[in-house]
Amino acid sequence: MEKTTLPRRNEVPLEETWNLENIFKNIEEWKTTKDEVLSAVPELAKYKGKLAESPEVLGDFLELYEKTLRQASKVMVYGSLSMATDTSDQAAQARAGQAQSVFVKLNASTSFINPELMEIGFDILREWIKKDSRLSDMGHMIDELEREKDHVRSNEIEQVLALSGEPMSNFFKAYNALTNADLQFKNARTKDKSKIEVGQSSIGSIITHKDRKARKTGFNNYADAYLANKNTLSSIQMGAIHRDVFNARTRNYNSSLEASLGSNNIPTDVFYAFIETFKKNLPTWHRYWRVRKKALGYQKFHVYDIKAPLSNDSPVIPFEQAVDWISEGLAPLGEDYVNTLRKGALEDRWVDRACNKGKRQGAFSSGVYDTNPFVMMSYADDVFSLSTLAHELGHSMHSYMTWKTQPFIYGRYSLFVAEVASNFNQAMVRDYLFNTQKDPAFQLALIEETMSNFHRYFFIMPTLARWELEVHERAEAGKPLSADIMSEICSEYFAEGYGDEVKFDKSRVGITWAQFQHMYMNFYVYQYATGISAAHALAKNIQEGDQTAVERYLNFLGAGSSVYPLDALRAAGVDMTSSEPVDAAFEVMAAYVDRLDKLVENDLV
């Protein structure tokens, strides 16, 4: 039998790759810019102890600092993107490491900024911004610094924290190197004994394969590779957990959770309320497992059946068609939005969609203030890939509009709002396709994609958020952690979510914590669920024809960090301090389960 294998990076078509030449024409230009940043570092360091001299001196410093930081950001993103598409490329790994070192040196040499600004005094700073136009954008930054004053340390401690950035980032680097380059996966096998190569860029298509044996062997072999390295993975993970605890304690936060949320001015009550709302709605998931089991006609429903195709007639959706449908679904946002998205995806090569050996797992959108956005994914010509593309282009357009609207100082948005625009795109495109693609097979495929999306963001991620909270609390209390303890916690939480409906191997499900790089991002994953909740609330207003909702949403995309995330969402039309948006999102999900149930009852599956 012919074996399905992944091509090497140099074998994929150019049009399926992103255009990093938009950042630097070649590696020599990257090196030149890197050296320029390094040469500016001593010049910036000379301002230490001098920022309080006058608004003019502060303006001179910030002018040089912004120029250098923008250059360093380009150096950094070029290095990381080069490595993401081929983690076995040693030269790309070296560039990424060099870029990280440059950033650490820059941060260490300028770590005096916040302590010195605080010494100047907030009232004086508010007077200074009226005296030098270069300081005129600092208003919200000063408010933010005043709010965070208890967590800003002395010059010396801030410098040490900045210098710790490089060694502290090595946990994430080690995890990526191990899982994306070194893990060896056994092939999946179909019932006719064909082989399918298991890899980070192919596992998604394998667990949605129509052949049940392919799904089972693919799922098991993928998990087994992580299990074979569980002790190494747990050591790396524990390092990252203790890093979070160290950072929280050093900055005078009561916990890692408070440190993560506090930086975005979000009360920890928002997190705890979300977890309780998720647990309350687990019966909706139990019902979905029952409906899916019935649709498939299985006596036993296993974890590797969760994404089994319900039809053999799934639509084939080429990349260009996906871009067309995404554009049409987002047409209510206006021509400027849609034309920018289309040009980026089809002409300017924002998207690296190739499936190749060594490509890192998952999908993401990246870029910095002086570049265009970049999307990495492994496109597979199906409705799942269409949805992933819509999701990542949502991130990209959020970044694009922030960079277009805000000055550099507010040119980033918080993690709390990061998953809103991405899920908004999916909700809009999904609704458009439900209303225009009436073929029952297509409708069924859409329901499958929808529930797969909810499964990832409204089941997997909240479950991992519960795990993340417990392992951090254990570390903060000095309780033991090990691979087996972490897996036991993980399997128990998934058991609650699966109820009596899903059969699973405890060890293979328990190792799920090791399969997500998000676990190195200190309480990031819960924001997928809050993001999808906010996204559906905002999309609903626009789908109902509220033109003011369109304007509010576009303003939200352009807000960057110029306002606090909860305030930005409230202005757009949703209050995330309430449990109402999460409950409403579960109602949306339940309605999709109803749709599927009706199709099953009418023998259309």
568 and 417 in contact (C-beta within 8 Å)? yes
Q: Is 435 exposed, middle or buried (0-12, 13-18, 19+ CB in 10 A)?
A: exposed
Which three-class secondary structure string do you get for 240-293?
HHHHHHHHHHHCCCCCHHHHHHHCCCCCHHHHHHHHHHHHHCHHHHHHHHHHHH
Q: Answer for the pair 250, 161: CB distance below 8 angstroms, yes or no.
A: yes
Of 327, 344, 351, 339, nearest in space to 15 by CA? 351
Q: Which of 392, 448, 449, 476 is catalytic?
A: 392
Rounded distance between C-alpha atoms, residue 6 and residue 419, angstroms? 30
Contacts of 451 (CB under 8 A, 6+ apart): 288, 292, 589, 592, 593, 596
Residues near 135 by beta carbon (within 8 Å), at least 6 away in sequence: 55, 58, 59, 62, 128, 129
Distances (CA, A) of 485 to 197, 227, 236, 490, 601: 31, 13, 15, 9, 43
Interacting residues of 288 by C-beta distance below 8 A, sequence separation 6+? 451, 593, 596
Q: How many CA atoms, within 13 angstroms, populate the side-chain half-sphere of residue 4?
A: 18
**CA-based radius of gyration for the chain:** 24
Q: How far apart are CA 7 and CA 107, in angstroms?
A: 39
The answer to whether residue 488 is catalytic is no
Which residues neighbour 508 within 8 Å (Cβ) at sequence distance 6 or greater? 219, 220, 223, 224, 227, 303
CB 444 within 8 A of CB 310: yes
Spatial separation of the C-alpha atoms in residues 384 and 349, rounded to whole Å: 21
Alpha helices in 456-520 (DSSP H): 461-477, 483-498, 506-510
Q: What is the DSSP code string of 191-212?
A: TT--EE---TTTHHHHTT-S-H
Give the DSSP letter string of 570-597.
HHHT--TTSSHHHHHHHHHHHHHHHHHH
Any idea which residues carry the catalytic annotation?
A: 392
